[in-house]
Structure 1
């Protein structure tokens, strides 16, 4: 299982939100490049980089930060936030992202994301399945759609997608545990898909449980910054 630390960006700084609420923001570090280098120094190979300014602006805002991290580390970066056009996708790849995450646009414009999957390949396009109470959440998690999580996954697997970041919005940033049971159900129902757990991962024991359940990856954010998961312990899991 890939252990994937997260860096969320607002005004070029490393922040975390609770339940995706911009009013519940904590700034942890003014230089995300230094944070990324710290992750790399511990042997972590992946980075989940989220442009929260971009999510609000509906176009990438923090591409210079992406470019610096790509230039100064060898981390495999997946980038999301504000990717609403083919031009924006290309800008992210040009700036150094190895993968991009299609979020709300996958709900609003599924044909656009299907086009990207064909153009760039399913290895390059991760589909963001943000959910709350089994419904897909959209618009920076501000509202729920009528689409169920399973219907969304079924639809996109038929369009060629194979990797999904499944974020339980109700748990994100709360440090109260992730939705292990839901992930177990998804793996059973969709055995050919790759699921990356996101939202609420709190302890190193939980990381092991997610790995044992068959998750493709686990994104860890606030637990690192608040110290409920020690970086040394993560490094041991990677080794």
Structure 2
């Protein structure tokens, strides 16, 4: 596989993984499970759950790591969330929710054992520097069954790519609001807590495209160090299939 082919396969896997984990994170069932676990505000359950692997830190620290959320609201949700079960307890609840979501909606997808095995191979050799959420989630114990384990591994890989992307974004001069507007637009800027008016970042389109290129290039370097070309292509193919299964099975 040539370098362009490796970059293409890595980008395909990254896109499928990002979307699959987003289905879990944004689904009403996940919010409902957070409410059932004691988080009256399910978004506080999300923030404390996802950020809990950082430990008992301040809301400002979590805001810095999450990078693209409006920081004041994000910090408030962190404080509300960790008050329920603490940081470690919140991350454990969220990890179990991811496992249950995989069991419910990924079962039957082809090659889930290979998704987990290839993803774990990549995770094991990837440096954790400047990727705190990846470092924290990498240390969490994985479920034994294939559907749960595959989604959890994809979760960790998503945090890896997100960390790389945020690092590139921080060096670019593009603000989080501009990044949202250049990526998915006004709805996402609002969803991440930012108030209007929104700077559209139209003069930074080329710079944002370079961030995506930089992120994909670095991910391809990491994939190339961990997997052979056939394995990289296999990971792309199987994660894309897993996403299709998830979308087909998840209630609308």
Query: Is the pair's TM-score, using the shorter chain for normalization, greater than 0.5?
Result: no
For the pair shown, which has the larger CA radius of gyration, 1 or 2? 2
TM-score where L is the length of structure 2: 0.30
Structure with the larger RCO, 1 or 2 (CA within 8 Å, 6+ apart):
2
Task: Give 1 or 2: higher strand fraction.
Answer: 1
